[in-house]
Amino acid sequence: GRHSAEFGVSVAPHARGRGYGEQLFARAVRHARNEGVTRLIIHALSENAAMLAIARKGGATVVRDGSESQAHLELPPADFESNVTELLEEQVARSQYWVKLGRHRLRQGWRRLAGWSGRLMRRGRSRV
C-alpha cells in the first residue's frame, strides 16, 4: 500500500557485531513513523540470521518461505516524542559528522605542513 515502506541494510563485514544494524533499523522505524508509514516490510534471505534477529527484536512478525523470509512491522502513528527524538538524533549525527570532518581536515593540513617543512629542510641541507 501507499503507507508501506521496505527496509534493507547491509553492514560491512569489518563493522558487524557492533550494533550498527539495530541502530539503523531503529532510526529507519522512527523516520518511517514520522513520515506517515504504517507498515515496514523487510525481505531477507532465511540464512541472514542477523537481519531477521533485528527485525524480531524490533517487534516484527517474520514469515519464512524456503530460502527467503519476509518480516512485517506495524508502526504506530507519529507522536511528539518520535518527532523530537528524530530531530535531536539528526542534529547529533550532523554535529558528529562536522567534528570528524574537521579532525580529518586538520590531520590532512598537518601532514601537508610536515611534508612541506620536510622538503624545505632537505633543500636547506643540500645547500650547506
Cell numbers at 85, concatenated: 527524538
Strand pairing report for 39-45 and 61-65: unpaired
pLDDT score for 127: 55
Report which of 71, 49, 75, 46 is spatially closest to residue 61, judged by C-alpha positions: 71
Q: What does pTM read for this prediction?
A: 0.74
Give the pLDDT band of residue 117 (cuts 50, 70, 90).
confident
**Cβ neighbour number for residue 125 with a 10 Å cutoff:** 8
Per residue in 68-111, pLDDT tens? 999 999 999 999 999 999 999 999 999 999 999 999 999 999 98
Mean pLDDT of 34-55: 95
Say which amino acid occupies 46.
Answer: S
d(CA 7, CA 41): 6
33 C-beta neighbours (distance < 10 Å), count: 19
The answer, yes or no, to whether residue 124 has pLDDT greater than 80, is no
User: Would you say residue 62 has pLDDT above 80?
Assistant: yes
Quick check: 1 pLDDT over 70?
no
User: CB neighbours of 5 closer than 8 A, spacing ≥ 6?
Assistant: 32, 35, 37, 39, 40, 41
> What is the pLDDT of the chain when averaged over all its residues?
91
Res. 6: pLDDT tops 80: yes
